[in-house]
Each structure stands twice: as C-alpha cells, then as structure tokens.
Amino acid sequence: MATASRTHHTGALARGALLWLLLLSLGFAGCAIPTGSTSTPGGVAKPLPHYDHILIVVEENHGYADITSATDAPYLASLARQGAVFTDAHAVTHPSQPNYLVLFAGSTFGVADDSCPQQLGGPNLASELIAHGLSFTGYSESMPAAGFTDCDDGTADQLYARKHNPWVDFSDVPATSNQPFTSFPSDFSQLPTVAFVVPNQLHDMHSGSVAEADTWLRQNVGGYAQWALAHNSLLIVTWDEDDGSDANHIPTLFVGAHVQVGEYAETINHYDVLRTIEALEGVSFTNEAAHATTIADAWQG
C-alpha cells in the first residue's frame, strides 16, 4: 500500500471540514443536509450488515471540494443527504488505472500508468465472491459487447476505455461478468451480489461536465438508490482520483439500507472501501485489503 495514501492530509481536511460546516448551515448545493450522526476517527464500531446487493459507481478526476461545492450536482447532493459522507476519503495514486485495480483487487500490481492491455493474476473481488457462491458483474457504458477485451470502443471519442474496467484484466473472471451497461437489469433483484457501474468518459466527469454526470447518475442509478433502501442493498459512489490539486482527496458516499446518515471523518482510501465490501459479504480479503481497515461506524446499530 502506498504510504502517501495513508497520510493524514491536514491542510486538505481542514479545508474540507470548513467547507462542510458552511454547507451544513447553508445547504449542500442549495439544500439543507440533515446532520444525522457524525463519527470521529476511531468512532464506535457497529455490527456490519450483510447485503443482498452492493452497487459501486466510479466517477472520475474530481476532488472532494469540487463536488461538495458544486451547484450543478443536485442529485449527488440528494444522495449526500440520504447517506454516509466520508469527509477524508482518498484515492491511492495517479493515474486512473491503478486506482481501479485497488478498488477491485486490493493492489496496483505495479501498474503505474494507463497502458493497455494489462493481464494480471491473483485473487480479486470477483473471484472471492464466486468462490463463496456469490456473484459479480461489471457494467461498462459504451462497451460494445459482453466479454469485450479491446482497449477502447474504436470510436474517435473513445467513450469506453479498458483502463476503467479492471475485471477484464483477470483470467479467472468469467467473460459473462464483463457486461455493457445496456445489460444492466431494470429489475434490480436480478443484479449480482456485487456490481460495478462505470459510466463512459462523457458521463463519469472525465471528459464531460459535473452536471452531465450528475444527470446521468440520477437517470440511470437513481431508481436503484431508492430501491436499495427497502431491499437490503447498498449504493457506493466514489471517484477514482482527484484532478491532482487536492492531495487525492475525493468524495465517497454510502447510501442504502442500514446506513446511518451523517458525516464520517476517519481517513479512508480505496483499500478500505474494498475491504469493507468484502467484510459486508463475508468473503476473504484480497491482497493489501487484508491490511486495510473495515469501515465499521457508518451502520445503524
């Protein structure tokens, strides 16, 4: 695990804390946020729920302050009011690809760039879920077909990029687990135990605007977010990395059943998020996630 990802970024946290205090008094994106319960580092651990479905959406290249101060992200603001907001969450490194690998498999595998293709081995989230009789699918917007392994979609805009699709790098992940977003079920009960959704590069804030990504998220994931509350399911929205300006300080939100609404101030990163997903589903910790920390204070007691 990169040492820098574990450093407490004092200046960034102070700025974030002041920003959130202001937002709590004036409202996130123009709307008041119920404060709920607020944890501190080392907050009281709660019993972990066990979810029927966990959905992780990965956005791109924006820091914490970019999103919490955005006036053109009303849907993300609404999710913040409904869930657990981690005010000191961090990506592990730059650029994109190694962060996706950490979220999926608990290691950068020595990858330090976005080169393609990567062919990797070893335990990962999908293989651990499958070994425990559970299921995994990654849904990538604009990927041309199920099981697709090319580095991009072949279009001039390269809306789909394999660097944002880590599960295709592992030979033990079935091709059937690598799906285009057109296969995302309208009946959410048909989702696998754990799923990733990766919007294309216009809709994940990489090449498009915050407003475009916010609208896409509301239109395509909003139904699941509401359904999850009553169906023992969880939505996680996080960012791969920041834009290089804020010590990799990124937004991370948990929304769904059993989540205690509020702000949580402990320092976390992608290793901790992966470990928490694995702990919630009762599967083995993969690679460096075994040495990370389970997020244990954001649940209803």
Domain harbouring 209, CATH code: 3.40.720.10
Model pLDDT, residue 21? 36
Residue pair 278/102 in contact (Cβ under 8 Å)? The answer is no
Is 100 within the bounds of a domain? yes
User: Which residue in the block uniquely carries the two structure tokens 């946020």?
Assistant: 33
Model pLDDT, residue 41? 52
Tokens representing residue 129 in the block: 């879920």
Q: Exposure string (b/e) for 207-233, b if CB count within 10 Å is 16 or more?
A: ebebebbbbbbbebbbebbebbbeeeb
Residue type, 138: G
Is 239 within the bounds of a domain? yes
Higher pLDDT, 289 or 38: 289
Is 106 within the bounds of a domain? yes
**What is the average pLDDT across 7-25?**
39
Higher pLDDT, 242 or 21: 242
Lowest mean pLDDT among 35-39, 181-185, 193-197, 216-220: 35-39
Structural domain tally of the chain? 1
Model pLDDT, residue 42? 54
Residue 272, CA distances (Å) to 75, 131, 162, 219, 288 in order: 25, 21, 24, 29, 9
Integer Cα distance of 232 and 137 in angstroms: 18
Is 246 within the bounds of a domain? yes
Residue pair 54/234 in contact (Cβ under 8 Å)? The answer is yes
Residue 123's pLDDT band, with cuts at 50, 70 and 90, is very high
Strands 252-256 and 249-250: unpaired
Of all residues in the chain, the percent with pLDDT exceeding 70 is 86
Residue pair 260/298 in contact (Cβ under 8 Å)? The answer is yes
Is 113 within the bounds of a domain? yes
**Helix 74-82 crosses helix 210-230 at what angle (to 10 degrees)?**
30
Integer Cα distance of 240 and 133 in angstroms: 28
The mean pLDDT of the chain is: 89
Whether pLDDT at 295 is above 80: yes
Is 139 within the bounds of a domain? yes
Whether pLDDT at 27 is above 60: no
Whether pLDDT at 35 is above 80: no
Whether pLDDT at 17 is above 60: no
Residue pair 60/205 in contact (Cβ under 8 Å)? The answer is yes
- This prediction has a pTM of 0.88
Is 301 within the bounds of a domain? no
In the chain, where does DSSP find H-type helix?
10-26, 64-68, 74-82, 96-105, 125-131, 210-230, 270-281
Model pLDDT, residue 39? 46
pLDDT digits (tens, 9 = 90+) for 196-237: 999 999 999 999 999 999 999 999 999 999 999 999 999 999
pLDDT digits (tens, 9 = 90+) for 94-122: 999 999 999 999 999 999 999 999 999 99
Is 300 within the bounds of a domain? no
**What is the average pLDDT across 185-191?**
98
Q: What are the strands of the beta sheet with 249-250, ordered from one edge?
A: 249-250, 89-90, 268-269
Domain that holds residue 150: 3-291
